[in-house]
Structure 1
């Protein structure tokens, strides 16, 4: 399992992915799940992947392979992010068609998903979620983010904090809290975290950070978020319809 998340904001975009893969309790390892395609001044594209590792790696490798042929439409000459999402979906279908039947013979799950986002010259910044079947949807102002993988634990903080006008620095903090919450509840998601920030119309990646176990800022965020939650919980008023219940009340026999 993995966890990937990307935000599309007025100020820019933030992408993050963990690095843990899990093929059993004794087969845990780390693989990078973020791939970037940057031609400064023309385009900045980030792809996050989740699902079957061989399927996702081969699909992105095909995308890179086609990118070396300028005679065909590819990630480097596509005129829109829509075209890039379509190309990635086609690469995913090719890999699943080629490898899927063999994987299914061994009951191997060949599902895979991608988040692809960024900006190409003469176009607004865009964000897409590509499904295993190769089709995709685009993020909107009402839902300016996508998640893949183990999404449920990190979603509540994003829903409460992220809006289109959220500042990039606040978005980064929100994503890190989202990852911390996910890792506390699911051991299949873990450090390192790859994080990338893109400022609107910069056509380059303004920040790329590899967050490891000994990263002091992430440790501080994790600790202070836990302390803050406990403090807020302790300050919540008691329900007026439970005023007769006290810690000193005897516990009834089971």
Structure 2
């Protein structure tokens, strides 16, 4: 009988040691978080105007400043979704268990997503911040902004007098889009967080009467520009014809919202595949 009691006592002692060891390991193995709850209050802003609002048939840029349309998600550090709601239905304050969370807000206009590389129907806006809940009220503030830049071409009305055809191709590392001569709606191009150099290739076909040889001539002019998110780049293209010398060219005006550059480019008769490059800094 004494032996059985001894075995039982040793078993209890061993179990107690294992329990204590487990508790110590839990404390040492990660950042201890006190049990309880806290609250967060959201204070969001939206900067989605590309410096100047515009409205097309598909896109009203001013609508992206309306935070009531934004979706808010709160995720834990294991990327598990804890809460989701529209900002207009934001329960203030939001109660959460103590811990760290990723708070993000986004708006998908025109059915686009964060992975959409180019669109004329809308663009994706997002923002995020880390919130640490520690049993008291915590304020979370961040700005939501587009993950794209805007490009646009403005062809002068006299282009058709001198050119049989003309269009522009805009190219990034992830998308190539085409601006036809009759287009009016801008392209929204996805860009990495630090921006990217966008290449614009202007394709031109001169009318026969403006070529000494009497044959239509095709040529290209290439412009490059470092475009940042939430910034715009507009190319204004106009003909530049000298009747005295019989020489046809184009004049390009680059609108960076704050600075305009007028760049006259003369294209001689042997202009086929002629290119001109320029790197601009924002």
Same fold (TM over 0.5): no
**TM-score for the superposition, normalised by structure 1:** 0.25
TM-score, with structure 2 as normaliser: 0.23
Structure number with the higher strand fraction is 2
Instruction: Give the number of the structure whose residues are more often helix, by fraction.
Output: 1
